[in-house]
Amino acid sequence: MRSIATGNAIHADSTPEPRRHLFYETSHSPAIADLVGYEKAKDIIDFCFIANPYYPTRDMLEDLQRNLPNLIKSYPSSNPLLSQKNLAAVLHVDPERLIIGNGATELISLIDLVLIDRIALPIPTFGEYIEKLKDQRDAELYALNPENRYQLRLHDYLAWVQKRKLQCLLIINPGNPTGQFIPLDEMVEFLHLAKDLELVIVDESFIDFAGDAIPSLLPIVDQFTNLLIVRSMSKHCGVPGLRLGYCYSANLFVLNRLRRFVPTWNLNTLAQYFLSLLPATDTAYHEARKRLIGDVRGLYEALRTIPRLEVYPTGANFVLFKIHGAKATELQARLLTEHLMYVRDCSNKLGMDTFHIRVASQGREKDAKLVDALRVLMR
């Protein structure tokens, strides 16, 4: 097996050894500040955590900063419909069919606890859907084939679900960590075939990056009473620190079951204020979204030119690649300590091997630096 090339470390004298033990204490990646401290984190380009680098706009951030003293001294609104209306205005949906959570993870936890007895999950996937089940043995794991780049084939998946007489399944589209995008017409066909199931969860956290026209199921939710859409706003709105996510369904019985367990004041005042800014900045948001789509395409093409990297097509704002001749953990460590870049080692993803790295686009300039670093390490 060929090893990763040894190059000259940059800033090696000022880069502290990361706290490697943190990688083994969670199924997610540690925050970069946890690894190296808040001060040193400012010097590191974070390609691990997925967030739009172009939104919120500078004006929005300045607005938030001006209002920060008042916001942190104020209680959040106890009326969730107010924030639902702000979000619904940009999604063009019925606000009363929305539930906004303190991150999508809050909603995933509620869905797992309140709605699910047993569920089919393709793996590798976003681990929260498994880890927050009442009993992890309630997860029926559908292992995707690494020889086919972990592609999810919908008809095969549904046949597997029906054979096991399961009534609930998950699809993440575009996939995480693969980036696989399933076109809208295929998703609609699948949902018609799956109408007899009790619950179909479709996580669309990355769908805004799948095309200039967003190929979401939101406009046609009324056709499928068993459909529950989940989305994280961290990714497409670029605000992971605000902890915002939402779910949407035409099934009011399902929504009301979840609402019973959503805490009052589950959103903080900063998050609620950010939501109030969305309608007036929607044009800027879509400009930012489309700009990032272009950046991801450029990153994908550049990564494909690097030897010993097998780069997977993506419909998200990140790219997954397989390393030939080295382990992902080794490459991640070298990028961090020698090039001050943090990438996602997917080795701890259930169902995935130890050779995959996921990188989220951080804009063309930073992406180019990543590509240059990988050229050095993979030569």
pLDDT over 50 (residue 10) = no
pLDDT over 80 (residue 19) = no
- Residue 18: pLDDT band (50, 70, 90) is low
Least confident of 31-35, 70-74, 119-123, 348-352: 31-35
Residue 17: per-residue pLDDT? 58
Domains defined for the chain, CATH in brackets: 20-56+283-378 (3.90.1150.10), 76-281 (3.40.640.10)
Averaged pLDDT for residues 332-357? 96
Averaged pLDDT for residues 55-77? 97
pLDDT over 70 (residue 27) = no
Averaged pLDDT for residues 308-318? 98
Residue 254: per-residue pLDDT? 97
- Please write the tens of the pLDDT for every residue from 238-291: 999 999 999 999 999 999 999 999 999 999 999 999 999 999 999 999 999 999
- Residue 30: pLDDT band (50, 70, 90) is confident
pLDDT over 50 (residue 45) = yes
pLDDT over 60 (residue 142) = yes
pLDDT over 80 (residue 345) = yes
Residue 25: per-residue pLDDT? 60
pLDDT over 80 (residue 14) = no
pLDDT over 60 (residue 32) = yes
pLDDT over 50 (residue 11) = no
Calculate what percentage of the chain has a pLDDT beyond 90: 88
Mean pLDDT of the chain: 93
pLDDT over 50 (residue 8) = no
Averaged pLDDT for residues 201-223? 98
Residue 4: per-residue pLDDT? 61
pLDDT over 60 (residue 321) = yes
- Residue 36: pLDDT band (50, 70, 90) is confident
Residue 7: per-residue pLDDT? 44
- Please write the tens of the pLDDT for every residue from 352-367: 999 999 999 999 999 9
Q: Which amino acid is at 227?
A: L
Residue 23: per-residue pLDDT? 66
Calculate what percentage of the chain has a pLDDT beyond 70: 93
- Residue 46: pLDDT band (50, 70, 90) is very high
Averaged pLDDT for residues 340-344? 96
